[in-house]
Amino acid sequence: MKVCKFGGTSLASAEQMQKVANIVMSDAERKIVVVSAPGKRFKEDTKVTDLLIALGDKALANEDVTDALQRVVSRYEQIANDLNLSKDVVNIIKDDLLSRLATKEEGEQKFSDLIKASGEDNNAKLFSYYLQSLGVDANYVDPKEAGLFVSKDYGNAQVLPEAYDHLYELRNRKGILIFPGFFGYTPDGELVTFSRGGSDITGSIVASAVDAELYENFTDVDSVFVANPNVVEDPVEIEELTYREMRELSYAGFSVFHDEALIPAFKKGVPVCIKNTNNPTAKGTMIVNERNYLINPIIGIASESGFSTIYVRKYLMNREVGFGRHLLEIIEDEGLSYEHMPSGIDDTSIILKGDQLTPEMEERIVARIKEDLDVDDVHVEHDFAMVMIVGEGMKEMVGIAAKATEALANVGVNIYMINQGSSEVSIVFGIIDADADKAVQELYNNFFVETKDPVA
């Protein structure tokens, strides 16, 4: 049994849905199909999820939602018309949206999740209708009825252990099952969504639960590349990488896969293949437990911008018991999460996503660190990027960090922080935002320019 997930661009139009139907019907082992909401049909287009967010915002502001509602319905209506489907399916979708809009008094977070999740839910219904029109034994699956139980964390649901036992029963159902991504239900029946891009999470959960032979994640690229094609021209393709490598790359800005999505598949050991809906015969990229590291110890280079640093200096800080704990308590009290915390004997830095900070919050943090910890200096700096080189083979090779730092020095990129985890899967360099693309390009040239063969 294979579980396959199709992203928003794969289901954005009738033409794309026809491609997806052909892919599904071409392999009898593709038994469960997880779908996203319709994505962009062209560069300037708007995703249905964004249309739904706008619709929900208007409803919560008690504004007229007629036009916003019609924009959502029209997207499904155009697909249905182009597929020669009955108007009944469009009426079902419109009635569903109206019933969701009627719940806005039940709480803003609950209402927001309910509206956003309609994108995937209604697209699953539409796609199942289309397959049925082709004579295929296909059925929409309601995640509530199937038992995809999650925690009550609006917009950030976590799957509950009992969900896997319930979902395993999908193996016993006949025909092709169409499962909406992005959301589940609490045990008491309340709809809650995963974080944005969570259809990948749904696919991984379902693949793990049913003990799938393979989880195929269809998107709009032939494979994962070792670097962002928008930054590096014609980068090398990756044929095979490990779960840990993919998660590191996803965290560092690779947009092919949601960075939480691999965890259920990883725990169960289900291999994942990233494939292209528009070129389904391409080999794609396999994500596995183990790979051969000898070909190239580095599997990818990524960068992510928008970081800020809280810099703290205090003489003899290293001898002060509990200093680090007290510092992190201040960060915790503000509800912040941090990414890295490089330290010296008299100074330390807390690196975090800058969009978490407000000017008022910065002022409070600086004042409290000064007062509570009696430091010699504390200040906040902005506009940093984290550039990461990833590869489980690095721990077997000498000189990787030296080669990387030399490459950055060659193009005048100043390094403000270096961090390598104990697992030695990645090395992170903190640099200024403006140098990020230049850094990625030079690292790529140093590690990959000698070969254009796919990386395994």
What is the Cα–Cα distance from 215 to 250, expressed in whole angstroms? 17
- Would you call 284 helix, strand, or coil by DSSP? coil
6 marked as binding residue: yes
What is the Cα–Cα distance from 327 to 366, expressed in whole angstroms? 11
**Do residues 288 and 240 lie in contact, with contact meaning Cβ atoms separated by under 8 Å?**
yes
> Rounded to the nearest 5°, which phi and psi values hold at 300?
-170, 160
Q: Using alpha carbons, select from 2, 400, 448, 3 the residue that is nearest to residue 237.
A: 448
Task: Specify burial of residue 163 (Cβ count, 10 A radius: 0-12, 13-18, 19+).
Answer: buried
What is the Cα–Cα distance from 324 to 318, expressed in whole angstroms? 9
What is the Cα–Cα distance from 93 to 76, expressed in whole angstroms? 8
The neighbouring-strand residues paired with 219 are 276
What is the Cα–Cα distance from 317 to 319, expressed in whole angstroms? 5
307 marked as binding residue: no
DSSP structural state of residue 13: S
- Would you call 170 helix, strand, or coil by DSSP? helix
Count CB-CB contacts under 10 A for residue 440: 23
**Do residues 284 and 262 lie in contact, with contact meaning Cβ atoms separated by under 8 Å?**
no
What is the Cα–Cα distance from 319 to 157, expressed in whole angstroms? 41
**Do residues 200 and 161 lie in contact, with contact meaning Cβ atoms separated by under 8 Å?**
no
Lookup: tokens for 259:
């960075």
β-strand 426-432 against 417-420: which pairing, if any? Answer: antiparallel
219 marked as binding residue: yes
**Do residues 274 and 10 lie in contact, with contact meaning Cβ atoms separated by under 8 Å?**
no
| Cβ contacts of 319 within 8 Å, gap of 6 or more | none
What is the Cα–Cα distance from 185 to 192, expressed in whole angstroms? 6
The stretches of 290-435 forming alpha helices (DSSP H) are 323-333, 359-373, 400-410
7 marked as binding residue: yes
Count CB-CB contacts under 10 A for residue 284: 24
Residues annotated in a binding site for substrate = 49, 120
Binding residues are 5-8, 49, 120, 219-220
Annotated binding residues for ATP: 5-8, 219-220
